[in-house]
Amino acid sequence: MADRLIYRGNKILNRVVLSIVLFIYCAACAQADGAPIAQRRPRYELGRAPSAAEIAALDIDVNPAGAGLPEGQGTTATGATTYALKCAACHGPSGEGIDKSPRLIGTVPPPGFAFASDASAPKTIGNYWPFATTLYDYIHRAMPITAPGSLTSDETYGLVAFLLERNGIVPATMVIDAKSLQRVVMPARRYFVRDNRLGSPTFR
């Protein structure tokens, strides 16, 4: 009985001691943890929050459905003027393409949609691009290649109108803006399917 009491006494004591040790250990951990985290994320006091104008200058993406298209408009006539001034030197006066600057106007043989079987077939706006909205996004983002981002939205809408009209996709009288551009259906649109594969298989 005495043995048993002593044993119980030790057991309680053990638990108390263990709790105290654990408490001290955890408190030390928290302290030690806090210090390295603060050191891992030091503040150098460099940089600053970007202004709304700076964010707007970078926030230029236009998706295939047309989300992101800005205010503004253009016609074939305004586009022809801008094209002659800022694009023709590289892409040719009639959009025929020069050296590494690709053809922008006119489809090229082979007819139909040969790209799956012939990787070398030239892809153009008229025979390959599935969305007209991408034309706005690409031109505004990347062209002229020597001064990307320099075109206004009106200039870009005009260029889009001009290139679509010269490719026989929209009438010359059409005013291109955010709303009308979303309604343009490209000739190659029907050859593309939505990629809804989840994991493999890669081909279908």
Residue ranges that bind ligand HEC, judged by CB under 6 A: 86-87, 89-91, 100-102, 104, 123-125, 138-139, 143-146, 151, 159
The rounded distance, in Å, linking the Cα atoms of 62 and 178 is 10
CB of 50 to ligand HEC, least distance (A): 27
- Residue 155 CB neighbour total at 10 angstroms: 21
CB of 159 to ligand HEC, least distance (A): 4
Beta carbon nearer to ligand HEC, 16 or 84: 84
CB of 32 to ligand HEC, least distance (A): 53
CB of 89 to ligand HEC, least distance (A): 6
Q: How many CA atoms lie within 13 A of 169 on its CB side?
A: 31
Q: How far is CA 36 from CA 29, 32, 42, in A?
A: 11, 7, 10
Say if CB 146 and CB 109 are below 8 A apart. no
Beta carbon nearer to ligand HEC, 87 or 188: 87
Beta carbon nearer to ligand HEC, 104 or 170: 104
Say if CB 129 and CB 186 are below 8 A apart. yes
CB of 144 to ligand HEC, least distance (A): 3
Q: Residue 146: which residues within 8 A CB-CB, separation 6 or more?
A: none
Beta carbon nearer to ligand HEC, 91 or 166: 91
Beta carbon nearer to ligand HEC, 7 or 160: 160
Say if CB 157 and CB 181 are below 8 A apart. yes
Q: In this chain, which residue has its C-beta nearest to ligand HEC?
A: 87
Supply 41's token pair.
Answer: 């994320």
